[in-house]
């Protein structure tokens, strides 16, 4: 299953595709939600969409890909916690769905332009485009394409500009000069958290 969700200051919207049918939801925030931060509203919209699907019984034995253009929503889900009490409470609601809904959920960060082109952005702003104007839902979900195929020219040229350097023994020194990095480089031995490339 695939779902896009987006929220503005006063409205929210989401689109959903289960492999056969597409569904849409939109509305206006109550004062309780409207008074919260934009990051809270973005994540709350996604959680509410999942909770609705869970109560309808459509999530059981499924894998759900949730697409959001809000990096805080994606990273909060990825970490499974938050220092913000309100965001943490939303994560607990997501974990409840994981535990009781027999579902696997993936959050994927996408560019805002993709959200607009797909049409869910319009649900939160009162416009109709993308899937809302007749596009096939899965044409906006290129999970089968690698990064090079999604951005063939720009990405490949960028990789080729530095790839030959990292094959040399002194690649770290060369890369610091290539990237214009100055100062001492500290290597802590700690691996950085790997995050997926936004679609």
Over residues 132-144, the mean pLDDT reads: 86
64 close to 105: Cβ distance less than 8 angstroms: yes
- The alpha-helical segments, DSSP class H, found in 23-170 are 31-34, 38-56, 71-79, 85-100, 112-118, 120-123, 147-150, 152-163
| Domains, the chain, with CATH or none | 2-144 (3.30.420.10), 149-179 (no CATH)
Between 70 and 185, name the one with better pLDDT: 70
- The pLDDT tens digits for 9-52 are 888 988 989 888 888 888 899 998 989 999 999 999 999 988 98
178 has pLDDT over 80: no
- Single out the residue of 114, 145, 148 nearest to residue 131, CA to CA: 114
- As separate numbers, helices (DSSP H) first and strands (DSSP E) second, the chain gives 9, 5
pLDDT of the residue at 187: 45
Which residues fall within 8 angstroms of residue 13, CB to CB, at 6 or more apart? Answer: 5, 6, 7, 24, 25, 26, 27, 45, 120, 121, 122, 123, 124
For residue 43, what pLDDT is reported?
94
Q: Which residues pair with 109 in a beta bridge?
A: 68
Residue 165 has pLDDT above 80, yes or no: no
Q: What are the CA-CA distances from residue 59 to residues 55, 75, 81, 101, 104 (Å)?
A: 9, 23, 23, 6, 9
The pLDDT mean for the chain works out to 82
Beta bridge partners of 62: 103
pLDDT score of 181: 56
Whether pLDDT at 53 is above 70: yes
Q: Which residue has the higher pLDDT, 20 or 89?
A: 89
DSSP annotation of 124 reads T
198 against 12, higher pLDDT: 12
- Residue range 129-141: mean pLDDT, rounded: 87
Structure tokens at 108: 């994927």
Say what the pLDDT of residue 99 is: 83
What's the pTM value of the predicted model, to 2 decimals?
A: 0.73
* Comparison of pLDDT for 162 and 83, the residue scoring more: 83
> Judging by DSSP bridges, how do beta strands 22-28 and 62-68 pair with one another?
unpaired
Least Cα distance to 69 among 29, 25, 26, 13 occurs for: 13
Give bridge partners of residue 107 from the DSSP assignment.
Answer: 66
pLDDT value at residue 121: 87
């Amino acid at each position: 299953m695939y779902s896009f969700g987006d929220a503005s200051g006063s409205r929210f919207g989401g689109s959903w595709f289960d492999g056969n049918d597409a569904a849409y939801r939109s509305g206006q925030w109550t004062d309780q939600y409207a008074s919260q931060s934009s990051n809270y509203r973005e994540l709350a919209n996604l959680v509410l969409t999942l909770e609705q699907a869970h109560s309808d019984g459509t999530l059981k034995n499924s894998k759900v890909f949730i697409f959001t253009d809000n990096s805080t929503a994606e990273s909060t889900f990825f970490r499974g916690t938050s220092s913000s009490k309100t965001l943490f409470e939303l994560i607990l609601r997501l974990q409840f769905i994981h535990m009781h809904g027999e579902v696997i959920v993936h959050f994927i960060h996408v560019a805002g332009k993709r959200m607009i082109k797909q049409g869910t952005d319009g649900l939160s702003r009162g416009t109709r485009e993308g899937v809302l104007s007749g596009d096939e839902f899965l044409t906006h979900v290129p999970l089968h394409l690698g990064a090079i195929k999604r951005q063939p020219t720009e990405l490949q040229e960028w990789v080729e500009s530095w790839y030959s350097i990292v094959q040399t023994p002194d690649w770290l020194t060369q890369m610091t000069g290539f990237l214009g990095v100055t100062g001492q480089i500290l290597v802590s031995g700690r691996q950085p958290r790997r995050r997926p490339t936004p679609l």
